[in-house]
Amino acid sequence: MSYQFDRTVLREYDIRGIIGETLGADDARAIGRGFATLLREAGGKKVAVGYDGRVSSPMLEHALIEGLTASGCDVVRVGMGPTPMLYYAEASSEEVDGGIQITGSHNPANYNGFKMVFQGRPFFGADIQKIGELAAAGAWADGTGEVESREILDEYVDRLMAGLDGIDQESLSGLRVGWDAGNGAAGPALEKLAAKLPGEHHLLYTEVDGNFPNHHPDPTVVENLADLQSLVSAKSLDFGIAFDGDGDRIGAIDGEGRVIWGDQLLMIYSEDLLQRMKDVTIIADVKASRALFERVAECGGKPLMWKTGHSLIKSKMKETGSPLAGEMSGHVFFADEYYGFDDALYAGVRLIAASARLGKSVTDLRSTMPNMINTPEMRFQVDESRKFAVIDEVKARLADSVDDVNAIDGVRVTNADGWWLLRASNTQDVLVARAESESEAGLERLMAQIDGQLAASGLERGPQVGH
């Protein structure tokens, strides 16, 4: 029996759609059958399944498990929790061969989707397209799998606490931190974690509510950090940490309420790690500040700029043996004393550890960073059929440029004023732009270069669109 997915659902890094419009139980069942078929072909048998706090997640979980078992895979249900808890279930168990988390991440409440891991590696790109091909052909394996439930939350939280190993916890007794779970799936794990951490912890919105009644769970948007900034200010806390809807992306503010962006967090983690390990590769995506790459080199590391996308970064980490990587979007990946996947709760613990080992407050660490002037990530609509063609046109025009042109993911141009970036999103019909300089005048000149390239391709920077 063949099955067709809506054309918008099978994406580069994950599977995502709108419940009742482009995604439903039949899709989840077909995803389960396809994933199980591929896993069995590769010699695997057992799949861990978890889900986030969205209203539609239990329905999708039920259908996904039906599909997995109908194609002969056994299922370990780990229940509701953050995506990294599902990753942990897969990474920490030798008998589990793959994992699927049902999650809409930071998308609006009516969205949902699936993030997958396959025999210890990211499952994305051509893998996801293969699920569509199997469904269209009805070429699924048949079988009868078994289902078991496993309580893993306490074990996962204990593993998070290992991020403080080797640190005198008595010395952290005066620590005061604010946390905002944004009514996302990380809430219950955060409550258990905060109860074990040394110091004093103030929690916001840990009750899981898929309607997100307080604010949208995307910590890279400044407006979503307002409640955390108010909490840190009102209680004079040392710093604050926020999570996205499924707990794999971190946001942070210092004791003065200043945002610590993803690349700035990576500067702190790098400085800490490079005290203990020298000459290792640390990876950041093409949207990251020049200051990060320079800081990694200053501290004795080998900075590597790579493509945006959590699956692409994870794959590059495995290839290079990198112990640490991160993205502007708040994905931080620790292979140093951890499993190499993106886990915002673990990143929160490691921020406490880094501050302790470096002997500086998070506010002091933020204050010593270069004061670069940069744009936020600008996203604007472009026809799907044009987005990659535009980038190719820009590359061609810059072929003889005297500026430093990095074409690893879109175009990143570095010159005396700083740098600017133009890339096509892999997941939406948008172009992404960003620029950074040490002066407002320099930033204006960089933005003029972006506008000039767009105009040469018959485009202009239109209204901003969300993730």
State whether 382 and 326 are in the same domain. Answer: no
DSSP state string for 349-370: HHHHHHHHHHTS-HHHHHHTS-
Catalytic hit among 56, 57, 105, 322:
105
In residues, how long is the chain? 467
Whether residues 338 and 325 share a domain: the answer is yes
8 assigned to some structural domain: no
**CA-to-CA separations, 109 to 14, 57, 158, 316, in angstroms, rounded:** 17, 11, 30, 32
Q: Are residues 82 and 173 in the same domain?
A: no
Q: What is the C-alpha separation between 7 and 5, in angstroms, rounded?
A: 6
Q: Which DSSP string do the residues of 93-157 spell out, in sequence order?
A: -TT--EEEEE--TTS-TTEEEEEEEETTEE--THHHHHHHHHHHHT--------EEE---HHHHH
- What's the DSSP call for residue 222? G
φ and ψ of 182, to 5 deg = 60, 25
Give the domain-ending residue among 367, 399, 423. 367
Burial track 28-43 (b if 16+ CB lie within 10 A, e otherwise): bbbbbbbbbbbbbeee
Q: Is 20 exposed, middle or buried (0-12, 13-18, 19+ CB in 10 A)?
A: exposed
Provide the domain count of the chain: 3
Burial of 397 (0-12, 13-18, 19+ CB in 10 A): middle
Is 209 part of any domain?
yes
Q: How many CB atoms lie within 10 A of CB 414?
A: 16
CATH of the domain at 35: 3.40.120.10
Same domain for 363 and 378, yes or no, is: no
Q: Are residues 228 and 304 in the same domain?
A: yes
Directed axis angle between helix 384-397 and helix 440-456, to 10°? Answer: 110
| Structural domain includes residue 69 | yes
Q: What's the domain range around 405?
A: 373-456
Question: Would you say 415 and 388 are in contact if contact means Cβ atoms under 8 Å apart?
Answer: no
Domain stop point among 323, 346, 367: 367
The secondary structure of residue 223, as a DSSP letter, is G
Give φ, ψ of 176 to 5 degrees: -135, 115
- In order along its 467 residues, the chain shows pLDDT tens digits of 899 999 989 988 889 999 999 999 999 999 999 999 999 999 999 999 999 999 999 999 999 999 999 999 999 999 999 999 999 999 999 999 999 999 998 888 899 999 999 999 999 999 999 999 999 999 999 999 999 999 999 999 999 999 999 999 899 999 999 999 999 999 999 999 999 999 999 999 999 999 999 999 999 999 999 999 999 999 999 999 999 999 999 999 999 999 999 999 999 999 999 999 999 999 999 999 999 999 999 999 999 999 998 889 999 999 999 999 999 999 999 999 999 999 999 999 999 999 999 999 999 999 999 989 999 888 888 988 899 999 999 999 999 999 999 999 999 999 999 999 999 987 778 999 999 999 999 999 999 999 999 999 998 887 666 65
| Domain co-membership, 51 together with 194 | no
Domain for residue 461, yes or no?
A: no
Q: What is the pTM of this model?
A: 0.95
Q: Verify whether residue 93 is a known catalytic residue.
A: no
- Domain C-terminal end among 85, 118, 151: 151
- Tokens coding 318: 């495995």
CATH of residue 378:
3.30.310.50
Whether residue 179 sits in one domain with residue 87: no
Same domain, 68 and 210: no
d(CA 441, CA 443): 5
d(CA 50, CA 40): 20
Model pLDDT, residue 11: 87
Q: What is the per-residue pLDDT for 385?
A: 86
Judge whether 114 and 83 are in contact, CB under 8 Å: no
Dist CA 340 CA 171 (whole Å): 28
The answer to whether the CB of 299 falls within 8 A of the CB of 270 is yes
Q: Are residues 396 and 419 both part of a single domain?
A: yes
- Structural domain includes residue 235: yes
Do 193 and 270 reside in the same domain of the chain? yes
Judge if 185 and 330 occupy the same domain: yes
Closest C-alpha to 3, from 63, 56, 77: 63
**Does some domain include residue 466?**
no
- Predicted confidence at residue 368, as pLDDT, reads 96
Q: CA-based angle 334:182:28, to the nearest 5?
A: 75
124 and 203 share a domain? no
Residue 362 within a domain: yes
Whether 464 is covered by a domain: the verdict is no
